[in-house]
Amino acid sequence: MKITVHRGMEQIGGNVIEISTDKTKILLDAGLELETLEDKEVIKTEDVAETELDLEKLLSENDFSAIFISHYHADHVGLLSLAKNLPSVYMGKLAYDIFKATEEYKNNIVNFIPARYFYDGKPIVVGDIRVMPVFADHSACDAYSFIIEAENKTVVYTGDFRGNGRKNFSSYLNKMPQNVDAVICEGTNAGKDGVNLKEVELENKMADVMENANQVFVLMSALNIDRVVTVYKAANKVKRIMLQDVYMSMVTDLCGNNIPNPRTFNNVYSFTSKGMDEEEYSKYFACYGNKKMGEKLIADKKFVMCVRSSFKNYLQKLNSIKPLSGSVLIYSMWDGYKKQKIIKDFLDFVQSIGMEIVDIHTSGHADCNDLERFLEKINPEHIIPVHTVNTEWFVKKYGEEKVVRDKIFIV
């Protein structure tokens, strides 16, 4: 079995990894580089840099039988929106539904339907390669790791994973094989000090902040479903309604009745931060009936509103109806995003109208303790670090002979 990392070593995101035998070739993930995503809240096809990996060319030069997508984050699936002639694509059902809906919301075209949806523990065989999806805890829901078997070898691909979310990490570890030939392992947090806070700890911290604030805003990703649940539970503790814009409402609605959404949760409402034409209104907003709220009604409620960095004008409008001084913005994303101009400008604005910014966040990626637990369980002969800028952590921990730095490796 040959492993070719077309992209993903010594960088965060943008994974494009090939697994091949003499008979079969597959790709694991097809992500955009994070640099492509900088300073753009909504990524459109025309925004993508010319320097991006040419997936179309890669596909045309190789006879790939399939692409397996671990989850719906753009740095793992975004290249699929740029290629027209795709082989069979496999991904989770909910992951595809969210990917398709969010791309179409941005007026991007999704030009594929998965050949088959995969589910936890249900193997898919392509040629002489067997892929077993394993449900993983990540900030994206319906995320998977893969156990790959071919030519009497076993390789694990982690995708993105963590142990501090609302899923049972021990259950995940118990599904993993032992003494594998190699692991393609994400290491976003490799070498970083500290232990990730658990989502339930964030819930309590948020509730404490929400208790005495005027109004509460949470700057977060609409695709972080665990965080949506955390914010809802915190708001519920302090008896505030939760407000989701139409984009987040669309995503949570897709996730089913157990995830806080305006359609089925009494104290969750939908709002729109911008004007909508008749088609948009009918497609994204009208469906919520009396669970829609306009600015004047919102201003009279005690609320927790999930926002994005493009909401400056909307918050100005709310502030003109009823001053937002004494309110709190909970920043619940990766701290590195604060360097981006669109985020920095938004944070400067909310402070200018008298709002306090409080950081309450935890990573969607495994901390060092959970990386060590995972690697101890599978006991790999070789480790191929990806999705990391700290390969040296793996080398110091596991030795130069075990850690693979080459982009092409024969198992």
Pair 187, 257 in one domain = no
3-state SS, the chain, equals CEEEEEECCCECECCEEEEECCCCEEEEEECCEHHHHCCCCCCCHHHCCCCCCCHHHHHHHCCCCEEECCCCCHHHHHHHHCCCCCCEEEECHHHHHHHHHHHHHCCCCCCCCCCEECCCCCCEEECCEEEEEEEECCCCCCEEEEEEEECCEEEEECCCCCCCCCCCHHHHHHCCCCCCCEEEEECCCCCCCCCCCCHHHHHHHHHHHHHCCCCEEEECCCCCHHHHHHHHHHHHHCCCEEEEEHHHHHHHHHCCCCCCCCCCCCCEEEECCCCCCHHHHHHHHHHHHHHECCHHHHHCCCEEEEECCCCHHHHHHHHHHCCCCCCEEEECCCHHHHHCHHHHHHHHHHHHCCCEEEECCCCCCCCHHHHHHHHHHHCCCEEEEECECCHHHHHHHHCCCCECCCCEEEC
C-alpha to C-alpha distance for 69 and 210, rounded to whole angstroms: 37
- Domain of residue 17 covers 2-192+364-410
Please give the residue that has the higher pLDDT: either 142 or 51. Answer: 142
Mean pLDDT of 365-380: 98
CA-only gyration radius of the chain, Å: 22
Q: Is the pLDDT of residue 36 over 90?
A: no
Number of domains making up the chain: 2
Tokens representing 237 are 């503790």
The answer to whether residue 38 scores a pLDDT higher than 90 is no
Q: Do 185 and 207 belong together in one domain?
A: no
Confidence at 108, pLDDT banded by 50, 70, 90: confident
Q: Are residues 134 and 183 in the same domain?
A: yes
Each residue's pLDDT tens digit, 188-203: 999 999 999 999 999 9
Q: Are residues 15 and 149 in the same domain?
A: yes
As a whole number, mean pLDDT of residues 256-263 equals 94
The tokens for 356 are 């306090």
Reduce the DSSP state of residue 261 to 3 states and report it: coil
**Residues 182 and 216 both lie in one domain:** no
* Residues 50 and 142 reside in one and the same domain: yes
Q: How confident is the model at residue 39 (pLDDT cuts 50, 70, 90)?
A: very low
CA–CA distances in Å: residue 355 to residues 150, 215, 335, 348, 361: 56, 9, 19, 10, 18
Q: Which residue has the higher pLDDT, 14 or 39?
A: 14
Lowest-pLDDT choice from 57-61, 118-122, 157-161, 210-214 = 57-61
pLDDT tens digits, residue range 320-331? 999 999 999 999
The CATH code of the domain that includes 322 is: 3.40.50.10710
Are 40 and 174 found together in one domain? Answer: yes
Once rounded to an integer, what is the mean pLDDT over residues 224-243?
A: 97
Integer Cα distance of 399 and 411 in angstroms: 18
Model-wide pTM > 0.85: yes
- Write down the pLDDT at residue 52: 66
If asked whether residues 316 and 372 sit together in one domain, one would say no
One domain, residues 151 and 230: no
Q: Residue 178 sits in a domain of what CATH number?
A: 3.60.15.10
| 370 pLDDT above the threshold of 90 | yes
Residues 283-307 pLDDT 10s? 888 889 899 999 999 999 999 999 9
Q: Model confidence at 22, in pLDDT bands (50, 70, 90)?
A: very high
Tell me what pLDDT residue 280 has.
Answer: 83
Question: In angstroms, rounded to a whole number, what is the distance separating the alpha carbons of residues 329 and 287?
Answer: 29
Q: Tell me the pLDDT of the chain averaged across its residues.
A: 93
Is residue 16 located within the same domain as residue 143? yes
From 359, 380, 401, the end of a domain falls on 359
- Is the separation of the CB atoms in 385 and 5 below 8 Å? no
| Same structural domain, 307 and 395 | no
pLDDT tens for 109-131 read 898 999 999 999 999 999 999 99
Examine the domain organization and report whether 160 and 36 are in the same domain.
Answer: yes
